[in-house]
């Protein structure tokens, strides 16, 4: 369990009555959620529930209505690249690595985007300690890496430059069971350091084991929320909202 912040503390991320439509399709229909300091929060839901849309809206990658606040400040008019410079690190489903740039150049970009207090050399050394495979391949274009290695490179960006909040879209998608365990081990390290994390996942069991709190999204509406261990024990929820056990 992560640290439970008092309810009165300003959340790192607060989303209030969020609506997003793709033409006539309402992808999010009034979502309200928050991530407090030091918390890991997961949004689970079946295919098409609106999970990717939620993270893209938080990054202002698409139009929305409602309210989104980062450390209490409305983000409505802040462009995506400026949110990145304010410490919002979004790791999308496709990992978001620049495939024609080398591994090292990808890490340099992460460093420059939201420079931490220490030097690039020190930051890279730590990332390579976690991922020796990236050290071996540091001069290679990131596009030459396997899917699992690209996920490691994506996660290494959060080591190089620890964000204010990490937004993760299905980190286990397309990975072997061994790589899924590895990814969650690394995420466990972020959590232990007190990084605020918002994770969206179809891999419900792994995500609920990992998170402090969870929300269940169904067809653009949050239908359940609570402590992750409570949600994980709720077999009815799995049948009713997620379509499997
Ligand atoms: P998945 O796990 O399959 O990515 P998801 O929970 O992330 O699902 P979204 O990708 O956010 O769901 O999609 C939510 C709804 O919006 C779905 O009905 C989807 O078909 C629709 N949708 C998503 N992107 C677009 C788009 N660019 N244009 C039109 N409809 C879209």
Residue 151, domain member (yes or no): no
pLDDT tens for the chain, 245 residues long, are 445 555 578 999 999 999 999 999 999 999 999 999 999 999 999 888 999 999 999 999 999 999 999 999 999 989 999 999 999 999 998 888 999 999 999 999 999 999 999 999 999 999 999 999 999 999 999 999 998 899 999 999 999 999 999 999 998 888 888 888 888 999 999 999 999 999 999 888 889 999 999 999 999 999 999 999 999 988 777 777 776 53
| Number of other CB atoms surrounding residue 84 within 10 Å | 16
Residue showing tokens 């071996």: 136
Residue 242, domain member (yes or no): yes
Which residue among 24, 25, 45, 207 has the greatest number of ligand 1 atoms within 8 angstroms of its CB, and so is best to mutate?
25
**pLDDT given for residue 172 in this prediction:** 84
What CATH number is attached to the domain comprising 62?
A: 3.40.50.300
**pLDDT given for residue 245 in this prediction:** 38
Task: Tell me the C-alpha distance between 27 and 173, whole Å.
Answer: 21
Give the up-direction half-sphere exposure of residue 59: CA atoms within 13 A in the CB hemisphere: 22
- Where in the sequence is the domain holding 226, given as residue range(s)? 1-79+199-245
**pLDDT given for residue 6 in this prediction:** 56
How many residues does the structure list for the chain? Answer: 245
**pLDDT given for residue 243 in this prediction:** 65
Atom number of ligand 1 nearest to Cα 202: 2
> pTM score, two decimals?
0.92
Q: Structurally, how many domains does the chain consist of?
A: 1
Burial 86-104 (b: 16+ CB within 10 A, else e): ebbbbbbeebebeeeebbb
**pLDDT given for residue 77 in this prediction:** 85
Report whether residue 40 contacts ligand 1, using a CB cutoff of 6 Å.
no
Q: How far is the CA of 173 from the centre of ligand 1 (A)?
A: 16
Is the distance from CB of 44 to CB of 202 less than 8 angstroms?
Answer: yes
- Give the DSSP H or E segment for 180: helix 177-192
């Amino acid at each position: 369990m992560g640290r439970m912040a008092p309810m009165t503390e300003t959340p790192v991320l607060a989303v209030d009555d969020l609506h997003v439509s793709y033409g006539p399709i309402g992808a999010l229909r009034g979502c309200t959620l928050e991530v407090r300091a030091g918390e890991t929060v997961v949004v689970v839901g079946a295919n098409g529930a609106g999970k990717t849309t939620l993270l893209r809206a938080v990054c202002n990658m698409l139009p929305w209505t409602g309210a989104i606040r980062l450390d209490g400040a409305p983000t409505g008019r802040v462009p995506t690249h400026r949110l990145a410079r304010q410490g919002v690190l979004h790791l999308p489903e496709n990992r978001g690595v620049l495939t024609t740039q080398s591994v090292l150049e990808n890490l340099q970009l992460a460093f420059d985007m939201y420079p931490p207090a220490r030097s690039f050399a020190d930051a890279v050394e730590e990332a390579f300690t976690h991922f020796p495979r990236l050290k071996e391949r540091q001069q290679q274009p990131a596009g030459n890496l396997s899917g699992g290695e690209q996920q490691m490179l994506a996660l290494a960006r959060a080591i190089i430059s620890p964000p204010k909040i990490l937004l993760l879209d299905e980190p286990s998608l397309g990975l072997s069971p061994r790589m899924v365990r590895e990814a969650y081990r690394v995420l466990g390290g972020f959590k232990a350091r007190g990084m605020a994390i918002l994770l969206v996942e179809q891999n419900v069991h792994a995500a609920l084991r990992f998170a402090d709190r969870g929300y269940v999204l169904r067809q653009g509406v949050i239908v359940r929320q609570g402590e992750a261990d409570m949600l994980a024990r709720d077999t009815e929820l799995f049948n009713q909202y997620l379509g499997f056990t």
